[in-house]
Homo-oligomer: A and B are copies of this chain.
Amino acid sequence: MKKMKITALLLVAAALNAPLALQAQAQEHPNLIMTKSGIEKVRQNLGAVPLFDASVQSVKNEVDAEIALGIDTPIPKDFSGGYTHQRHKLNFLTAQKAGALYQILQDDKYAKYIRDMLFQYEAMYVDLPVHPQERSYARGKLFWQCLNDSNWLVYMAQAYDAIYDTLSEQERDKLENNLFRPFADFISIENPQFYNRVHNHSTWGNAAVGMIALVMDDEELLDRALYGIEDDGLELGGRDNDGGFIKVAGQKAGFLANLEDPFSPDGYYTEGPYYQRYAMYPFLIFGLAMNHVKPEMKVFSHKDNVLLKGVDALLNLTDADGEFFPLNDGQKGMSYYTPALVTAVDIAYQYGEQNPQLLSIAEKQNQVLLDQSGLAVAMGIRDGKAQPFVKNSINLRDGQEGDQGGVGVLRHGNEDLTLVFKYAAQGLSHGHYDKLSFSLYESGDEVLQDYGLARFVNIGQKGGGNYLKENKTWAKTTIAHNTLSINEQMHFSGKYEIASEHHSDLYFYDDTKDDVQVVSATEGNAYPGTQMHRTMAIIKNEDFEKPFLLDIMKVKSDSKNQYDLPFYYMGQVLSDNFEYNSPTSLKPLGEQNGYQHLYLEGKGKPSSSTTQFSWLGDGKYYTLTSATEESDELLLTRLGANDPDFNLRRDAAFMLRRNGSGNTTFASVVEPHGSYSPVSELSVNSDSSIAELSIVHDDDAYTAVSIESIKGVRSLFILANKDAAKSKQHKLKVKGKEFSWTGPYLYTGS
């Protein structure tokens, strides 16, 4: 970045109360997201690119309806579920769209709409106090939190850029001095606890300040956006509303730090896909604006193109319906149909390598951005370039350097079976306490679920649309997840400060063989003195109708413990091969750490060493088969205890409980099979194909699991527990037969 050195000019500028110009020549507008040349191309192609034209028409209908309603900028009052919140949000969304329409259609009514709205805000903002709702650690002015004020500025900066040239210098000065600059100052220097962190909140704040800086050509603000506030005056150790740290030692700040830290080299965002989806917009939009205005700074391609990699990672963290896996705090149902992903896909296509697979996602989204990237995508679709977006297995490392665990996604076929295995870092304040947990999907259907968050986002009746207390008492707990809970405690005792210092470690990941794909990881810090090692394999064996999941959880502990391994199945119980008691009145399973929310609907003992439990999901059958010990307990639980406000879903789990063991190993198979249709009433293959599952060898060095099918065919999975090297040669005698192989595992018909 070239800084100007013409002192005289600076003095003149200061005298005029004008901003420090970044360049001696005034820049052209629009140049933030839309560019002059891009808009020209758009105009030339109007009427010739169906999806682009449809997108223009749809946005036009929306904006025209808003213009007809008239502009309302009410005095801020409500939480996210309420009117003033929704109104201000709709204002900035509509203004941004009106800006695009103005540029494309050159109809002055859109410019006038934005100008009038901005001046209403300008008139209001000067005396506007902080928002009356007091819940946030960083209250905004238009909204209850600075985060939403930042949203406003990111969008309004684009609207302002679009009509910049239609305003007189006097008008611009008024807006910039009374509205934009004070607004940017408020969310940054007046709220460093919000602005000066590595967190999705700060990313929005940084981008907001940066976007308006670029439009106003304001170097000071741009510096603040990129590098944060130098002296923020914050003390170490404060917490935000989600329990996240506000300041830790050595904390960096600003957009570049936010780009650096939460993204791994693979583009995985440590908070998880739901928040990545939310954060991608400011990342991409400000990255792109920098690319247009200051290409020489290479912000957009920072960290080896991590932003474009992030788009790819995000698309790969979806099920077959395009819904994001609800890792950590994630609202189920959020998908790549959200506008942020339209932005992401279009920008990734245009500024990446024009990947034709992205076009098929855009086709499904059925809308494009109203700029040159949206045009390029719509033209690609028109010209028949779209190819199916193929989601393969993928291992995404977590951590700035990619060395803090990760998330492994194993897929078989065309997303016929998808395993999501989490062995990541804590994920900042939105992280859950669930090391080595997993969820399982058959196409777009959850087989074993991750609960997601306990929140009804933007639904005012439910705690103002904010996080509910059950997010902490249930959703974040370990027992809420498909992983091991020991002695009814949470991983890291549920302490964020401890959890944040640790991460699980990959043991190995191997997706090279289509019919046996494996991910394996260890966790040694969640329970001090205990080492957990979980290995999960998606296997397609010809004796089985569909691919299945093999799950081996090996535990070493220096103490006797109670182990609980739940499976949150989705569907209705079909059958089982064990006896259980079913109480007439339901009581909570425990008193804390999530257990207080579980009712015990049944409690039994294994009837054999191979325990089976089947359920009927959405027209498909599933059987869980586990190698059990005589003293194991089998629990059937139902969520909903101590939930007076009905904030939790009444979901069920099958839980293996093992008492008193120090070292122990759980081995299970989750087996999808058959189908049922209420229309044909045909029940197909409703029985498991497994006759016996057993751990046939288990010591420090090796664990071997045998699966015998009902046809009497045995297969064997042997895991080398201590050396995952690909080249390492192994030899083991199992039940009198010697096996030798190279690499961390062997899977074989016996």
| Chain A interface residues toward B at CB < 8 A | 81, 86, 331-335, 337-339, 456-462, 465, 572-575, 580, 582, 584-588, 599, 601-602, 614, 616, 636, 638, 640-646, 649-650, 652, 676-683, 686-687
Contact = CB atoms under 8 A, between A and B. Distances in A.
Contacts of A81: 683, 686
Nearest to A459: B683
A121 B457 CA distance: 62
Given A585-B587, A644-B602, A683 B460 contact: yes
Contact of A573 (B337, B645, B681, B682): B645
Contacts of A331: 678, 681
A588 B585 contact: yes
| Across the A-B interface, the 5 shortest Cβ-Cβ residue pairs | A333-B678, A573-B646, A582-B644, A461-B575, A586-B586
A347 to B, nearest CB: 19
B461 A574 contact: yes
B572 A586 contact: no
22 contacts: A81-B683, A331-B681, A333-B679, A334-B678, A339-B680, A458-B676, A458-B681, A459-B574, A459-B683, A460-B683, A460-B686, A461-B574, A461-B575, A461-B686, A461-B687, A462-B574, A465-B683, A572-B646, A580-B644, A582-B643, A584-B642, A585-B588
Contacts of A640: 601, 638
A378 B384 CA distance: 32
A478 B574 CA distance: 26
Contacts of A682: 86, 458
Contacts of A649: 572
A174 to B, nearest CB: 32
Contact of A679 (B337, B574, B642): B337
A572 B588 CA distance: 21
B646 A616 contact: no
A326 to B, nearest CB: 10
B572 A686 contact: no
A2 B679 CA distance: 42
Contact of A586 (B585, B602, B680): B585
A616 B582 CA distance: 31
Contacts of A457: 678, 681
A336 to B, nearest CB: 9
A595 to B, nearest CB: 13
A652 B638 CA distance: 14
User: Which of the listed residues A333, A599, A681 has the most CB atoms from chain B within 10 Å of its own CB?
Assistant: A681
A338 B679 contact: yes
Nearest to A602: B644
Nearest to A581: B644
Contacts of A335: 679
Nearest to A641: B584
Contact of A678 (B332, B580, B586): B332
A650 B678 contact: no
Given A461-B575, A461-B686, A334 B646 contact: no
Contacts of A636: 646
With most chain B CB atoms within 10 A of its CB, the pick from A337, A586, A588, A638 is: A586
Given A461-B574, A584-B588, A584-B641, 5 more contacts: A331-B678, A333-B678, A458-B676, A602-B644, A638-B640
A487 B521 CA distance: 59
A671 to B, nearest CB: 15
Nearest to A596: B584
Contacts of A586: 585-586, 599
Nearest to A338: B679
Contacts of A650: 638, 650, 652
